């Protein structure tokens, strides 16, 4: 099993596809957004600092993110993993190159701004990692406001509003999108159109994972 790196604009479905890959193939899912939100929930000083950055839609510093990822990758001891949310800058990608062998594939989840903003507006999330969307009949929770998976209360992320989205999307265009060329030049890139239903997207991704 190849390791997977997801590159995507906000709300493209990295978390949803990572959960499916984890369920079907047993990957370890490393979501930097989830790790940062857990740090915030712990009430630590570091959590308070990153909350101010994340809530307005900005990127956390490369140094902190690299530290977090290095620790995580050491902890999983060579098991196959998915990176969801890292790298997000060219600097992060270059440092990652020094850590990883060549055994990974990069999947770019392609979604335009208008579709992404609609998803952000309707999104509710659970602390267990599952996301829902109130603007999509198929993606609504069975019971209003409650996670189908674990029964916990769904919440709206503090950065899931139009103002923060615009900054997040601009950060994606200005900092992250260069990684598409970067990995294409290394022959690592697979592009998946994610303006489709979850299962069709997952089938495409499964094929990429199986062929490599
Ligand atoms: P999605 O909508 O698919 O969950 P996202 O990009 O909106 O993706 P997360 O990946 O959950 O959200 O990340 C949330 C926030 O955490 C980012 O907006 C950013 O502030 C911070 N963050 C996460 N990963 C990184 C990273 N590699 N470098 C810098 N900041 C990061
Ligand atoms: Mg996510």
Query: pLDDT digit string (tens) for 134-190?
Result: 999 999 999 999 999 999 999 999 999 999 999 999 999 999 999 999 999 999 999
Has residue 134 been placed in a domain?
yes
Query: In the structure, which protein residues have their CB atom closer than 6 angstroms to any atom of ligand 1?
Result: 10-12, 14-15, 32-33, 36, 53-54, 57-60, 65, 85-86, 88, 92, 159, 168
Neighbours of 67 (CB within 10 A): 11
- Which ligand has the shortest distance to the CA of 33? 1
**Please, what is the average pLDDT of the chain?**
95
The band of 212, judged by pLDDT with boundaries at 50, 70 and 90, is low
Structural domain containing residue 190: 3-27+80-209
Q: Report the domain count for the chain.
A: 1
The model's pTM is 0.94
Phi, psi of 111 (to 5 degrees): -150, 135
For ligand 1, atom 7, which residue shows the shortest CA distance? 10
Has residue 199 been placed in a domain?
yes
Query: pLDDT digit string (tens) for 17-49?
Result: 999 999 999 999 999 999 999 999 999 999 999
DSSP E strand stretches across the chain: 3-7, 28-31, 81-84, 104-110, 123-125, 131-133, 189-193
The active-site residue out of 37, 88, 119, 130 is 88
Has residue 61 been placed in a domain?
no
Has residue 64 been placed in a domain?
no
CATH number, domain containing residue 129: 3.40.50.300
Contact call for residues 201 and 194 (beta carbons, < 8 A): yes
Contact call for residues 109 and 13 (beta carbons, < 8 A): yes
């Amino acid at each position: 099993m190849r390791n997977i790196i997801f590159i995507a604009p906000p709300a493209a479905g990295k978390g949803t596809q990572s959960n499916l890959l984890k369920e079907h193939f047993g990957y370890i899912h490393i979501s930097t957004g989830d790790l940062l939100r857990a740090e915030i929930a712990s009430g630590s000083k570091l959590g308070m600092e990153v909350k101010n950055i994340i809530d307005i839609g900005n990127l956390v510093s490369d140094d902190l993110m690299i530290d977090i990822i290095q620790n995580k990758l050491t902890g999983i001891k060579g098991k196959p993993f998915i990176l969801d949310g890292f790298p997000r800058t060219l600097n992060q990608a270059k440092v990652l190159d020094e850590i990883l062998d060549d055994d990974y594939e990069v999947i770019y989840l392609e979604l335009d701004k208008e579709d992404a903003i609609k998803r952000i507006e309707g999104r509710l999330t659970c602390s267990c990692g599952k996301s829902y969307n109130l603007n999509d009949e198929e993606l609504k929770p069975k019971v209003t406001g409650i996670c189908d998976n674990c029964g916990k209360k769904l919440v709206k992320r503090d950065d899931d509003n139009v103002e923060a989205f615009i900054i997040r999307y601009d950060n994606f265009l200005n900092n992250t999108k260069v990684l598409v060329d970067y990995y294409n030049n290394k022959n690592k890139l697979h592009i998946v159109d994610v303006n489709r239903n979850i299962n069709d997207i997952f089938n495409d991704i499964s094929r990429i994972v199986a062929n490599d």
